[in-house]
Structure 1
Amino acid sequence: MERELARGSLAHGWADESQGWTLNRIRLLIARLFHVGSTVQGVRKLMRRHSWSAQVPVRRAIERDEESIEVRKKVVWSQIKGRRSTWASTSASRTRPGRG
C-alpha cells in the first residue's frame, strides 16, 4: 500500500495532483487494489496506525512577504491583543464574572 501511495495520486488516475491523497481517494484505492470496502474514518485510523499524517501543502503565494508577516505578528498583534490584567482565570459568563 505504501508503495502505491508513494507513486502519487496522478499515477492512479486523479488528474488534480494539487490535492494529493485525500482519505476518500485512499479509500477508493484500497477498494481497487484489495477489493475491500472501508469507511473514510476507517482509512484515517489505518493511516494513523501506520504513522501517516495529514499534510499541508507547501506552496505559498508569490506575493507573500515573510518579513512583513513577522513584523505584524510581533508588533501589531501584541498591540491589539494587549496583556492580561492578572494571572487569575477569566469567565465568559455574564452572571459570574472572573476575578481580576
Structure 2
Amino acid sequence: MIEMTYLEELSPLEAVHLQDLEWRIALPSETHRQKVRQVEAIGLPFTEDIQDGQRVAVFRFDQLTPFEGRVFGWKALLEVWGIKYQLTYPDVEKTSGPVP
C-alpha cells in the first residue's frame, strides 16, 4: 500500500478578481499493477470527471478575491504490485548472444 498526495498552491494574487475558475488535476490510474483504493480531497472538495478515459478531479472556485491564496489537491491510497524476474547468468547469456 502506498499513500500518494498531490497538492497545488494558488499564491495570493495582487488586485486580481476571478470568477468561475475551474482547475483540473488527474487522479491515479487503475492498471494491472495498481488499484486505487481510496481518494479524498485536501483543502477543497472536488467532483470527478472522465477526460480521455482518465479520472480527473475538478476543483471549482466561484470567485477568488484579491490577495486570496488557496492550497488544494487530493490524497490517494494505492495498492501496487511489482513484477520480479529471476534470471540466472546462463539465462541472460542465451538471450544476449556472444560478446565480440
Range of TM-score over shorter length: under 0.3
Computing the radius of gyration from Cα coordinates, the structure with the larger value is 1
- Normalising by structure 1, report the TM-score: 0.25
- Normalising by structure 2, report the TM-score: 0.25
Higher relative strand content: 2
Query: Which one has more relative contact order, counting CA pairs under 8 Å at least 6 apart?
Result: 2
